[in-house]
Amino acid sequence: MYNNLDKQILKKIKEYKNIVIARHVGPDPDAIASQIALRDIIRFNYEDKNVYAVGIGVSKFKFLGTMDKIDDIKKEESLLIILDVPEFNRVDGASKDEYAYTIKIDHHPCDHPECDIDLIDESACSTCQIISSIVFDNNIMIDKASAEKLFTGIVSDSDRFLLSYTTPLTFNIASKLLNDYNLDLSVIYNNLYSRPLSERKFESFIINNLTITENGFGYIKLTNEDYKKYDVDANTASNMVNDLNHIKELRCWAFSSYDEKSKMFRINIRSRDIVINDVAQLHNGGGHKFASGARLSTQEEVDALFKALDERCKESK
């Protein structure tokens, strides 16, 4: 279904002895699950290859697997695959010019070539869905643990099949993974969705302190003090943005969370039916039509973006 691009990718994987797999900074379950699953699928099929998953690990997602330290390989003779990320400036732990050949597999829109091969499927709910399609279309053997990871990424990025990127193909693939590999749903859902009470309290704090404009735009600016008080981190906050879906009064909503490490404001934007990625693009961000983000360095820039989003809500009333 990928116009032979998948076959070209598989050919390159066959060709290279050393393969490094990277994904975006501040990873979500889809990023890590697709990365680990692809690594383990390649290892499962080619015992003699050196395959590494790189980037900073996130303890919360340890159940998906751990990152690797690259051995003493010649990167200039190695293949780099980047997953779930449109551009190299957001890739964690790898840069383009170090490697002999680069491949991108992603579901985020991108209007320019980034790698030697770019497989972009904007209709897929997740990178894990794309990897699953490649696996099934090409009758590739995979192990049960990898199937479990692919399913986890699909469930997580589609927000449990709620988001509009969920298609009949998403269900077909999920069903095939479940059925062919006899997956245990309760284990997967427990890993993904059990969370400490402090996080639920933090979620209540967000809902109680959300500002909603008359145009249906909701926003909150989270500070380090807020994280400390609820014992959560900036990452937790940005992953929580999906939880505000289906609040009637909201058409579009955004979190600004200050990240001490990078000294940047991380903005997460969601919308029920208003296109917002073009607004994000004008403010140092980007993403999907209804799910975007941005990274900004000053409070003024945050205010300008929020104003533009409110404007967009007003225009599309």
Residues that bind Mn ion in the complex, under the rule CB under 5 A: 30, 84, 126-127, 157
Checking 233-240 for CB contacts under 8 A at 24+ apart, the result is: 234/258, 234/259, 234/260, 234/266, 235/26, 235/58, 235/60, 236/60, 236/199, 236/202, 237/202, 237/206, 238/26, 238/266, 238/268, 238/293, 239/28, 240/199, 240/202, 240/203, 240/206
Supply the minimum distance, in Å, between the C-beta of residue 316 and Mn ion.
26
Rounded CA separation 94/175 (Å) = 34
Nearer to Mn ion, 157 or 259 (CB): 157
Rounded CA separation 206/134 (Å) = 39
Supply the minimum distance, in Å, between the C-beta of residue 124 and Mn ion.
9
Give the three-class secondary structure for 250.
coil
Pairing mode of beta strands 18-23, 285-287: unpaired
Nearer to Mn ion, 54 or 302 (CB): 54
Rounded to a whole number, what is the distance in angstroms from the first to the last CA of the chain? 38
Nearer to Mn ion, 126 or 152 (CB): 126
Residue nearest to Mn ion (CB): 30
Contact call for residues 232 and 202 (beta carbons, < 8 A): yes
Rounded CA separation 35/299 (Å) = 34
Nearer to Mn ion, 84 or 310 (CB): 84
Supply the minimum distance, in Å, between the C-beta of residue 312 and Mn ion.
23
Contact call for residues 96 and 115 (beta carbons, < 8 A): yes
Nearer to Mn ion, 84 or 226 (CB): 84
Supply the minimum distance, in Å, between the C-beta of residue 19 and Mn ion.
20
Nearer to Mn ion, 35 or 126 (CB): 126
Closest CA to 251 of 222, 286, 212, 224: 212
Supply the minimum distance, in Å, between the C-beta of residue 62 and Mn ion.
19
Nearer to Mn ion, 127 or 238 (CB): 127
Nearer to Mn ion, 105 or 302 (CB): 105
Supply the minimum distance, in Å, between the C-beta of residue 309 and Mn ion.
22
Supply the minimum distance, in Å, between the C-beta of residue 107 and Mn ion.
6
Q: Quote the tokens at residue 253.
A: 């909503």
Contact call for residues 159 and 242 (beta carbons, < 8 A): yes
Rounded CA separation 243/240 (Å) = 5
Q: What is the dihedral of CA 119, 122, 125, 131, to 10 degrees?
A: -10
Supply the minimum distance, in Å, between the C-beta of residue 34 and Mn ion.
7
